A and B are shown apart, each in its own frame.
Chain A
């Protein structure tokens, strides 16, 4: 079955440092989505990438979709304590209306 791998599983940074999480799929994706889950909360949609090589920015967050549409990354510049949480990538199973989530990257930011 389709797998979505995400690394690292966990990262602890000092406030002000940059952070990147990577997502890799075993199959080509029609789109890739990113979600953020704060501690004790539920996953919240951040963005969707559709085009090969697409790059989107949201303030300090930069999202990229690989040329082959099998990998993606989320980069946070100058992390803040409000960035704490688990970041998930998600992609649709080929041919199905189902989202498969990566295992997530837990980000901890120390002040």
Chain B
């Protein structure tokens, strides 16, 4: 069965700081990888996804993630965070056309 680990539960940063949120998964086969964001009071939104090809994926709002197959990782990065990036970030994994499995989420607070 697939599982997803997000090691940072709470992250507090100042504006303009760089961000990296860890995500590791366990699954032996080919997977699709996602980062979803949930802004306060809003629904889950897709930030970026990886299916195949270039392991460095660029998403919306300046976010990117790198798939490192040997490490079973898909860390999310942003060079310079803004106050508006305050949200909860969920890493998710699925094998092709199977259910999406979410990590526990990382709550990011960006102070102005």
The judgment on whether A and B are partners is no
Q: Report which A residues bind B (CB closer than 8 A).
A: none
Measured CB to CB, the residues of B under 8 A from A are none
